[in-house]
Amino acid sequence: MFGSVTSLSRRARIVLLVPLLSLFLSGCGINTIPTYEQQAKAKWSDVLNQYQRRNDLIPNLVATVKGFAQQERTVLEAVTTARASATAIHVDASTITDPEAFKKFQDAQAQLSGALGRLLAVSENYPELKSNQNFLALQSQLEGTENRIAVARRDYIEAVRLYNTELGTFPGRIWAWILYRSNKPMAEFTVDENVKRVPQVKFN
């Protein structure tokens, strides 16, 4: 009888201690690293989606410009080549923890941004192109996409900052050493501010 009461008492203590221990561990930040990791990966997906949106616009933009400015072959080929290079790079969730792969990705996107900027600048020399409704619509969509890229990239950078900070500071550093040893810091965008700017075209 006494033994069964003791056993019940012990079980009751365990039942009470388990949620308290879970609450304590949660409050100590045991879940912070995986939470920040998932948030950063989600923001990375947003970045990729916006870059893909831009890639999808480019063929129509090039075709439209070509219809009015075939002589600008060098500029048109530069955009087509840059797009091919950017889309040829394989990217996934692992890219953000591989500094070399991440740099290749951002360099390719920066090259494409530069080529697009030159293509849009060329349109200034062709009044008929500047007034073409299809070109105006594509230019507007591209500008909107560039803005969305900038926002997605900014959100990603902030999410990565939180994640990397958690990995390298107390108590996250302890949890990383105990439970999340395979977690690596994530790469951030480091492209020049001039490259990040949205290509601008003035229609007079």
- The sign of the dihedral angle between the CA atoms of 169, 172, 175, 180 is negative
Residues 6 or more apart in contact with residue 3 via CB below 8 angstroms: none
- Under DSSP, is residue 125 helix (H, G, I), strand (E, B) or coil? helix
Helix (H) or strand (E) holding 174: helix 172-178
Q: CA 96 to CA 158: how far, in whole Å?
A: 14
* Residues 66, 76 contacting (CB under 8 angstroms): yes
Run means of pLDDT, 10 residues per run, the chain, 204 residues: 53 51 55 96 97 97 95 95 96 95 96 96 93 96 97 97 95 92 94 47 38
Kindly report the pTM of this predicted structure. Answer: 0.80
Measured in whole angstroms, how far is the alpha carbon of residue 167 from the centre of its chain? 20
Q: Are 142 and 64 in contact (CB under 8 A)?
A: no
**What pLDDT score does 194 carry?**
44
Choose among 73, 64, 54, 79: nearest CA to 146: 54
Interatomic CA distance for residues 188 and 61, integer angstroms: 30
| DSSP SS3 for 68 | helix
Closest CA to 115 of 154, 145, 74, 144: 74
Q: Write down the pLDDT at residue 201.
A: 40
The per-residue pLDDT for 204 is 36
179 CA to centre of own chain: 26
* Per-residue pLDDT at 168: 94
Share of the chain above pLDDT 90, in %: 75
